[in-house]
Amino acid sequence: MVHLRIVAPPDAAEHAVELLEDSGSVCNVIMLEHAARKPRGHVILCDVAREEASVIIDDLRELDIPKYGSISLEYVDTQISDAAEAAVEHAPGLASDAIIWEDVENRTEEMTELSLTFVAFMVLAMIIAGVGVILDQPILVIGGMVVGPEFGPLAALSVALVELRGGLVRRAGMALIVGFPIGIAVTVIVTLGLDATGLIPESFNPADNELTSFVTNPDALSLFVAIVAGTAGVLSLTSAKSGALIGVLISVTTIPAASAVAVSAALGDWADASGAAIQLGLNLLGIVLAGVVTLFLQRRWYVVRRRRHLSDPARERAGLPMGRSRHRRRPPGSRVGAGTARSESADGGTQR
């Protein structure tokens, strides 16, 4: 279940309550009249089956509630209620497969922030993986994979490409374009420092590393694994199976490949540096490609579901038009602020 807290002016609140009361996938509807002080209005509390959360939120957006109030969302881990069970049974599909698009969009918005923390994690991850390449220690390479924050911007880039959001494409691209070069540059400096102090043997050759040589030797399987891992990563991001994301981070070699570029370049091994660069490019391409395809298919299914919902009698009782959305399509590339939701038009366009 998903818990919604809605702040709305009196007129919109009345329509919202009618909509929520008539929806079979909603329960525990509570309205506190004039409880909100800033902005002033009524407060509505309700629980929605996860499968129908985005559909219900889209209806609430058509009532212009975010314009004059707010819609907040949080997950309910446990609820003991026959009414809640009935709401879940009414909603088609399985909760584990349901996608709450507003949550996905807001999380990916946050993942694109080019902050000092993001850059620091990129640098630290590449240093750890770089030492793993030098010592031929897979455990350190895996450690660098887990520490690396690069999957966030890659996932955000996939969302942005599917939803045609130019602003998000630029922010996600900037995080990657800045993060990787800085991480590689610092790792080059660290490697030169380790070499100058004699911590790297003169006979060191990445090609002799039996356990980590895959980082500098890309092949068709590298792209295949990146595509599979990218698909799994997007599924973990959009579903309730978020724990699978750790496995995804360990499956892709973006950070180790970037680290190998830095280590090989610092030691003058340009052949291995080129191989690692190709490995990095294949992984980035595979993850984004898989993410776009997966999200596109998931989005199309949601559009079909949304179109069916537009004929729900509950919409008419709430003053919403039947068979179509009240809102026009949102211009591609416009940004959605954190904590807000968006709605789907009858033809599949997203709305402000």
Tokens read off for 139: 């455990």
Query: Residue 248 has what pLDDT?
Result: 64
Percent helix / strand / coil, the chain, rounded to 5 = 65, 10, 25
Burial degree of 266 (CB within 10 A; 0-12, 13-18, 19+): buried
Count the neighbouring beta carbons within 10 Å of the beta carbon of residue 94.
12
Give the separation between CA 98 and CA 352, rounded to whole angstroms: 22
Query: Residue 341 has what pLDDT?
Result: 41
Query: Residue 236 has what pLDDT?
Result: 83
Query: Residue 347 has what pLDDT?
Result: 40
Three-class SS of residue 272? helix
Closest CA relative to residue 19, chosen from 40, 34, 4, 36: 4
Distances (CA, A) of 263 to 132, 170, 269, 270, 328: 10, 29, 8, 10, 52
Q: Would strands 40-48 and 70-75 be described as parallel, antiparallel, or unpaired?
A: unpaired
The pTM for the full model equals 0.80
Can you say whether the dihedral through the CA atoms of 92, 96, 101, 103 is positive or negative?
A: positive
Per-residue pLDDT of the chain (352 residues; tens, 9 = 90+): 999 999 999 999 999 999 999 999 999 999 999 999 999 999 999 999 988 899 999 999 999 999 999 999 998 888 899 999 999 998 887 777 788 888 888 888 888 888 999 999 999 999 999 999 998 899 999 999 989 999 889 999 999 999 888 899 999 999 999 999 999 999 999 999 999 998 887 777 766 777 778 888 888 888 998 899 889 888 888 876 555 566 666 667 899 999 999 999 999 889 889 999 999 999 999 999 999 999 999 888 888 888 888 888 888 778 888 888 876 544 333 444 444 444 334 344 443 3
Location of structure tokens 């399987």: 221
Give the separation between CA 352 and CA 343, rounded to whole angstroms: 7
Three-class SS of residue 71? strand
